[in-house]
């Protein structure tokens, strides 16, 4: 397995497949309908325009096994040092430590890019993701009860954050 920087050309279809499997089978994403290739084009364009990383893990044959990324937390200037991250692993690869490897890589990238706070919005029933985040130093920072409705039930979303040591010299504006 090797970590790579994902590109739209090489990885959009695989990322789309991973996301769509999560949409239709889990509460990892609060979407109802599978995403389209047009959605992926917009997603990658946003990542490129904002300089947000998309880190993937490939096997020796080049198959994408999972990915991690982050994006804007909120659309106000004072949040410029805070990002919301996500990590998704192919269903056949879960439970093998790949999520941890991808999370460690995205945290390392955030430090390089002077991020100060990383936020994960996790379905409160997703014990595996919560344990992973806690193991990596993320702390529970609040839960919004009944924030989503999927699969015929209300879903609580738990927020986990990790405060990083960067940037060394933050500025207003």
List, for residues 103-124, the tens digit of each pLDDT value.
Answer: 999 999 999 999 999 999 999 9
Q: Could you tell me the CATH number of the domain that includes residue 110?
A: 3.40.630.30
**What are φ and ψ of residue 122, in 5° steps?**
-125, 135
- For the chain, the domain total comes to 1
Give the pLDDT score at 35: 96
Range of the domain at 159: 2-163
Specify if 117 maps to a domain. Answer: yes
How far is residue 168 from each of residues 81, 112, 113, 119, 171, measured CA to CA in Å?
Answer: 11, 11, 11, 20, 10
Instruction: Tell me the pTM.
Output: 0.94
For 141-154, how does the pLDDT look when each residue is reduced to its tens digit (9 = 90+)? 999 999 999 999 99
| pLDDT bracket for residue 173 (50, 70, 90) | confident
């Amino acid at each position: 397995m090797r970590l790579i920087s994902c590109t739209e050309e090489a990885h959009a279809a695989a990322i789309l497949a991973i996301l769509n499997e999560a949409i239709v089978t889990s509460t990892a994403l609060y979407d109802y309908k599978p995403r389209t290739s047009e959605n992926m084009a917009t997603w990658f364009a946003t990542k490129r325009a904002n300089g947000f990383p998309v880190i993937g893990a490939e096997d020796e044959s080049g198959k994408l096994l999972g990915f991690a990324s982050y994006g804007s937390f909120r659309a106000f200037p004072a949040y410029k040092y805070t990002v919301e991250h996500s990590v998704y692993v192919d269903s056949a690869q879960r439970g093998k430590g790949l999520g941890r490897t991808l999370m460690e890589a995205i945290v390392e990238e955030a430090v390089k890019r002077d991020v100060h706070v990383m936020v994960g919005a996790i379905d409160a029933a997703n014990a595996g993701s919560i344990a992973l985040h806690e193991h990596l130093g993320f702390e529970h920072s609040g839960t919004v009860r009944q924030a989503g409705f999927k699969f015929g039930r209300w879903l609580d979303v738990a927020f986990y954050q990790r405060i990083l040591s960067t940037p060394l010299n933050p500025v207003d504006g």
